[in-house]
Amino acid sequence: MIPTVHSAILKNLIQVLDWVGTLAFALSGGLLGVRKQFDLFGVLFLSFVVAVAGGMMRDILISALPPAAITDTHYFMISIGAGLLTFYWYPRVASLQHQILLFDMVGLALFAVIGAQKALDYGINPLMAAIMGMLTGIGGGMARDVLAGEVPFVLRADLYAIAALAAGAAVSVGHVIGSPPLVPMLLGAALCIFLRLMAIYRGWRAPVAPWKNNNAT
Amino acid sequence: MIPTVHSAILKNLIQVLDWVGTLAFALSGGLLGVRKQFDLFGVLFLSFVVAVAGGMMRDILISALPPAAITDTHYFMISIGAGLLTFYWYPRVASLQHQILLFDMVGLALFAVIGAQKALDYGINPLMAAIMGMLTGIGGGMARDVLAGEVPFVLRADLYAIAALAAGAAVSVGHVIGSPPLVPMLLGAALCIFLRLMAIYRGWRAPVAPWKNNNAT
Amino acid sequence: MIPTVHSAILKNLIQVLDWVGTLAFALSGGLLGVRKQFDLFGVLFLSFVVAVAGGMMRDILISALPPAAITDTHYFMISIGAGLLTFYWYPRVASLQHQILLFDMVGLALFAVIGAQKALDYGINPLMAAIMGMLTGIGGGMARDVLAGEVPFVLRADLYAIAALAAGAAVSVGHVIGSPPLVPMLLGAALCIFLRLMAIYRGWRAPVAPWKNNNAT
């Protein structure tokens, strides 16, 4: 899930951050699985899906096949580790819920900027690259909710997708104005985290249409 | 989403029709989003998904990657435009529901014939090309319903998928007997619209199995 | 869906077994469709999806595009045949439910070992190849449940996914230790069937986390 970058240090940094994001998302998947009383397998499966589905969707759509999560086993190992941790030490992990929410915020920001940059590296136009960044961030959560038979909460809540989109857009704008990738990636990630914090602590929301829905389909 | 065609005029015509279909599907997605009280982002997302998911599924399955909806930003622009329109002028758009149903019918017909032709152009055998045409037509609606946590209505209702399949099959039959694409595409689209009209106004339905389902799984 | 194998007889054998698995899965999909009172189209659609979705997901993820189920019409023919059979002779087919459960077990085992072997043949690492084997086996059932608006039962039940994973893992282990494919494929299939039988007749289950879930999300 790593774009071409122009320095080995930056590349390693992004790699580590990508793994941190994977861990955060896998933990949030695992927690949901335990709460839903899934068995061990179901918990591990959900950890893996939440952690990698967004990146897989992006890789399929930008034609970077096979997806990184298939060719690089780190994603799998991290997800399974997080799932096992959640399964066997659930009370401990759940007590860290606040920290995990922060992790998740960081994971969203990192996935979005890394995803947009990878799409640009594969020749996708900047507009759709920003969308691919958003998809990388929210795809895991969408897959989780669809598998759990629920309306994906990213379609309703808390600027989640919008924050990811803002991060992707920052990377695309940086690309268009010819900036080296690192600066817009950092700005984008910061913007994503800022929007999420405002959504959680200040109640920022996207507008909802004021129309009453008394027209049945 | 445009197949190889043998005249520039035809190509432009198909292009315009593809956009009309995209617009129709995006409007129907947007209307659902407003009715479900999604926020602005959710409405735009649903518009986009309904408009492009069928074509994306087809492009992935026929290996035309990246999908046209990623490389060509027109689909995105049209979808977002339709979503914004629906969000801010919902009563106005909803009052056009009858026309949108007609649009949707036309969109289904166009997507099905264009999708089947594209599959043939990518070397898919005529049988599966007809199925790919159907998928192009119904994929957006399926994705919409799955995201909304509902059983896809195409699995139940109104000859919707069958009409799309008939359109795809007409294109495949034309290909097998060596006809130039335009004629079977027009016939297929007409057949699709005819079947939908019969389903809506005359209540034509596919048969349902007469068996009582008192065998639990 | 056939991996490179080293003898024509083995290749033909695997081909036939792959079709048997397709048939078994298509029958189980068709039975569900009739029970849910889908119309003829819906029943055929469900038969096809259950039979091929797992293989399609695998082929997309290992970049074997277009998927075998698109390029080879046998899968389609077998699925549609099974769907028609179920639709018109439902009581007859339903009375064979016990045999179909056995078929399904065999289908799961065959799909898992064939899927893992195909992933290895496409250069996927053994760890993810085992996962791809599992996905081939359970993907159809997952797609069926998501389309029916239900939590995929593979996330909950009866060692289903674990049995498929064990089969895939056997093939991968065989590959790593340099065995010719046939032996690990047979062993893997036998292991999968054994685990399923133990789950059904002895109530073997994967562990469920002992934690009470009184922490709301």
Q: Using one digit for the tens of pLDDT, what is the confidence trace for A163-179? A: 999 999 999 999 999 98
Q: Which of B124, B127, B213 sits opposite C37 (nearest CB)?
A: B213
**Cα(C133)–Cα(C108) distance, integer angstroms:** 10
Distances (CA, A) of A41 to A45, B91, C91, C165, C168: 6, 48, 35, 10, 15
Query: What six digits make up the tokens of B112?
Result: 């099905």
Note whether C151 contacts A149, CB cutoff 8 Å.
Answer: yes
Q: How many domains does chain A have?
A: 1
Note whether B41 contacts A162, CB cutoff 8 Å.
Answer: yes
Asked whether the predicted pLDDT for residue A217 surpasses 50, the reply is: no
Q: Write down the mean pLDDT value for chain A.
A: 86
> Which position has the token pair 């998740």?
A104
pLDDT value at position B216? Answer: 42
Domain-located, residue C3: no
**Residue of B128, B131, B146, B160 for testing the chain C interface, max C β-carbons within 10 Å:** B128
pLDDT per residue as tens, chain C (217 positions): 444 545 677 778 878 888 888 998 998 888 888 888 888 888 898 999 999 999 999 999 999 999 999 999 999 999 999 999 999 988 888 787 777 778 788 889 999 999 999 999 999 999 999 999 999 999 988 888 888 777 776 666 668 889 999 999 999 999 999 988 889 999 999 999 999 999 888 888 877 777 765 444 4
pLDDT digits (tens, 9 = 90+) for B22-56: 998 998 888 888 888 888 888 898 899 999 999 99
A146 in C contact zone (CB under 8 Å): yes
Note whether B36 contacts A213, CB cutoff 8 Å.
Answer: yes
pLDDT digits (tens, 9 = 90+) for B111-142: 999 999 999 999 999 999 999 999 999 999 88
Distances (CA, A) of C74 to B128, B174, C174: 11, 22, 29
- Of residues A3 and B160, more confidence is placed in B160
Domain-located, residue B27: yes
Domain-located, residue B101: yes
Residue A138's pLDDT band, with cuts at 50, 70 and 90, is: very high
**Cα(B115)–Cα(B119) distance, integer angstroms:** 6
B148 in A contact zone (CB under 8 Å): yes
Domain-located, residue A131: yes
C34 in B contact zone (CB under 8 Å): yes
The phi and psi torsions of C208 (rounded to 5 degrees) equal -110, 140
> Comparing C-alpha atoms, which of B159, B161, B160, B181 is closest to residue B170?
B181
> What number of C-beta contacts closer than 8 Å exist between B and C?
80
Note whether A211 contacts B90, CB cutoff 8 Å.
Answer: yes
Domain-located, residue B123: yes
- Of residues A202 and A74, more confidence is placed in A74
Domain-located, residue A213: no
**Cα(B187)–Cα(B179) distance, integer angstroms:** 12
**Residue of C135, C211, C214, C217 for testing the chain A interface, max A β-carbons within 10 Å:** C211
**Residue of C61, C70, C71 for testing the chain B interface, max B β-carbons within 10 Å:** C70
Range of the domain at C68: 8-202
The phi and psi torsions of C39 (rounded to 5 degrees) equal -80, 180
Note whether B70 contacts A127, CB cutoff 8 Å.
Answer: no
Q: Which residue of B has its CA nearest to C58?
A: B61
C56 in B contact zone (CB under 8 Å): yes
> Comparing C-alpha atoms, which of C143, C193, C185, C190 is closest to residue C168?
C185
**Cα(A210)–Cα(C88) distance, integer angstroms:** 49
B40 in C contact zone (CB under 8 Å): no
CA distance A61 to chain B (A): 5
Q: Which of C122, C155, C213 sits opposite A147 (nearest CB)?
A: C155
B67 in A contact zone (CB under 8 Å): yes
Domain-located, residue C211: no
Domain-located, residue B2: no
Q: Which of B34, B39, B149 sits opposite A149 (nearest CB)?
A: B149
Residue B37: strand, helix, or coil: coil
**Residue of A60, A62, A136, A155 for testing the chain B interface, max B β-carbons within 10 Å:** A155
Q: Which residue of B has its CA nearest to A211?
A: B90
Note whether C94 contacts B215, CB cutoff 8 Å.
Answer: yes
Query: What six digits make up the tokens of C31?
Result: 């039975």
Distances (CA, A) of A56 to A70, A81, B13, C78, C216: 9, 19, 35, 30, 29
Q: How far is CA A155 from the centre of its chain?
A: 14
pLDDT digits (tens, 9 = 90+) for C56-70: 999 999 999 999 999
Q: Which residue of A has its CA nearest to C61?
A: A66
> Which helix or strand (DSSP H or E) is residue B6 part of?
none
